[in-house]
Amino acid sequence: TAEKETMGFQTEAKQLLKLMIHSLYSNKEIFLRELISNASDAADKLRFESLEAPELLEEDPDLKITVVTNKDTKTITITDNGIGMSKDEVIQNLGTIARSGTAEYLKNLTGDKKKDAQLIGQFGVGFYSAFIVADRVEVFTRRAGLPANEAVHWESTGEADFSIEPVERAERGTQVVLHLRDDSLDFADDWRVRSVIKKYSDHISLPVMMYKSQSEEEIKEGALPEFETINEAKALWVRNRTEVKDEEYIEFYKHISHDFNEPLTWSHNKVEGKLEYASLLYIPEKAPFDMWNRDANRGVKLYVQRTFIMDEAEQFLPLYLRFVKGVVDSNDLSLNVSREILQKDPNVDSMKSALTKRVLDMLEKLAKKDTEKYQTFWKTFGQVLKEGPAEDFANREKIAKLLRFATSHDNKAEQTHSLDDYIARMKEGQKEIFYVVGESHAMASNSPHLEVFRKKGIEVLLLSDRVDDWLMNQLGEYDGKQLKDVGRGELDLGELDAEEDKKQKEKLAKEHKDLVERVQGILEGKVQEVRVTNRLTDSPACLVVGDYDIGMQMKRILEQAGQ
Ligand code: ADP
Ligand code: MG
């Protein structure tokens, strides 16, 4: 038979391990959450695979997780009868970090414990968190369907390498044995562990079991200890909203999102009627490390009648809501649904539009209820939401309501004003929403185009994000008011222009006819037209883009793209 082999961790894995142990030290107990979370995922995967191959359940169909502590051996052992791992899977899953962009991301780590803990949190803590409390970790695992003699024993001290050897194992699934460090022996204490698990795993839908404590009598009689279930063990999204505590929602979020931080807000709904489904959707507080990576994971976890079907089901939400995490559980889809089928199923389309509305409503509610949290959301995901009006024409008014801008009202760079705020401050007789686009906030707010608006006390949105020009073109109007670029075309302030201003402009145009013609001659071929304006109060001249030309910002984006 094959022998024990020693292998090195992948560089990134080694780095992460080291940093994890140091920076998450003050929050040791999270290792339990991570290992139970993995065991639960393993059960989900087995249930899913057994839909097509029931024999994988062997003689052991009741999926569960057990946790056993032992003060004598100074260990805590977490066992599941889920999917298990083959030798290759063990090497891949417990020896490397496969996610793309990892190496890039790890360069951001600073050595400052607090900051790094935050960064690692965004990355996802995972299996390696076992080494926060253990100086040696053993994994015994057999993949469902493989014979008992193809089980694997993995072992490591969490430094440079790990060993792997074949073993016999009758039980299917995975057992993780943590040999506790001297400073973490509290995790060999049954009561301590019990309370942590209660805190972290009520939302886990399969039973998490520990030994029942025995009476003196039972111990005297030498009775064998029995297991008892210590969590709620029911899919959280199936429960009634009123029964679920906030802490449970938060823990569930951490489980499904692999995010270390709490979510900003969530929305839990059960829909009955023509289509029956439950959804639980979350808005994260922090962006995942790979949000701007095109192949980054996105989408919800899909269940059909409580059975896990797939992660990252992208068909249930539009791309501009890709930051949303959550679960959808449908009663109408078939258990053998695939990504291809999802794409064609009209039921999925109706669910998508309902879920999109839910998310937009949730954001609107958050904006009303908690401006500070909404600002956090906007700073992190505002740029993504700005893709919305182009992708989702039907909801563009709803999305527009959620946008936030910097404006000349206070000239601050921070984007805090909604279009509704702007409208509430509009001048008597003002019919349009004015905006100016600049390469930076400073450039926008110092634009000569603003001079006349400042003079008249008319507010202008100060736009400087790359997508802004394009966004405004997509939107076109809001609440029946046109969005007007003040750096474009002839400026007609309509009723906002006093009669005398108009007369003054006509008079000037007449007086300076010769000058205008001369300048026009000199700039022949460089500009389309030279004209007298009432735009400016201090600057002598400015450049204006035609009404139907591409904006300056768009032009630059296209130039950068080599067009
Ligand atoms: P994540 O859970 O985010 O994928 P982890 O570091 O927690 O990352 O786990 C890495 C991988 O190891 C998992 O994706 C899974 O494939 C495998 N794994 C971990 N624990 C188990 C387990 N108990 N049973 C089966 N596979 C597991
Ligand atoms: Mg995990």
What is the value of pTM for the model shown? Answer: 0.81
Q: Cα(504)–Cα(532) distance, rounded to whole angstroms?
A: 11
Q: Cα(462)–Cα(273) distance, rounded to whole angstroms?
A: 46
Q: Cα(557)–Cα(563) distance, rounded to whole angstroms?
A: 9
Residue 129 CA, closest ligand 1 atom number: 6
CA angle 152, 153, 155 (to 5 degrees): 145
Q: What is the pLDDT of residues 45-77, one digit of tens each?
A: 999 999 999 999 999 999 999 999 999 999 999
Q: Is 384 exposed, middle or buried (0-12, 13-18, 19+ CB in 10 A)?
A: middle
Give the pLDDT confidence score for residue 111 in this predicted structure. Answer: 74
Place of tokens 């030290």: 25
1 has a pLDDT exceeding 60: no
Largest CA distance in the chain: 114
- The verdict on whether residue 101 carries a ligand-binding annotation is yes
Give the pLDDT confidence score for residue 25 in this predicted structure. Answer: 77
537 has a pLDDT exceeding 70: no
Q: Whose CA is closest to atom 19 on ligand 1? A: 38
| 328 three-class SS | strand
- The verdict on whether residue 125 carries a ligand-binding annotation is yes
Residue 37 CA, closest ligand 1 atom number: 2
The answer to whether the CB of 271 falls within 8 A of the CB of 283 is no
- The verdict on whether residue 93 carries a ligand-binding annotation is yes
Q: What is the pLDDT of residues 20-33, one digit of tens each?
A: 887 787 789 989 99
Q: Whose CA is closest to atom 5 on ligand 1? A: 126
Residue 89 CA, closest ligand 1 atom number: 16
Task: Write down the H helix ranges in 329-370.
Answer: 339-344, 346-369
> Predicted ipTM?
0.99
Ligand 1 binding site (Cβ under 6 Å of any ligand atom): 34, 38-39, 42, 80, 82-85, 93-94, 124, 126-127, 174, 258
DSSP letter for each residue of 81-141: -SS---HHHHHHHHH---STTHHHHHTT--S-HHHHHHHHHHH---GGGHHHHEEEEEEEE
State the ligand closest to the CA atom of 124: 1
Q: Cα(216)–Cα(26) distance, rounded to whole angstroms?
A: 36
Nearest to 86 by CA among 3, 1, 9, 169: 169
Q: What is the pLDDT of residues 403-444, one digit of tens each?
A: 999 999 999 999 999 999 999 999 988 999 999 999 999 999
Give the pLDDT confidence score for residue 475 in this predicted structure. Answer: 95
- In angstroms, what is the span from residue 298 Cα to ligand 2's centroid? 16
547 has a pLDDT exceeding 90: no
pLDDT category of residue 536 using cuts at 50, 70 and 90? low
Q: What average pLDDT is seen over the chain?
A: 89
Q: What is the pLDDT of residues 120-153, one digit of tens each?
A: 777 777 899 999 999 999 999 999 999 999 999 9
- In angstroms, what is the span from residue 363 Cα to ligand 1's centroid? 32
- The verdict on whether residue 80 carries a ligand-binding annotation is yes
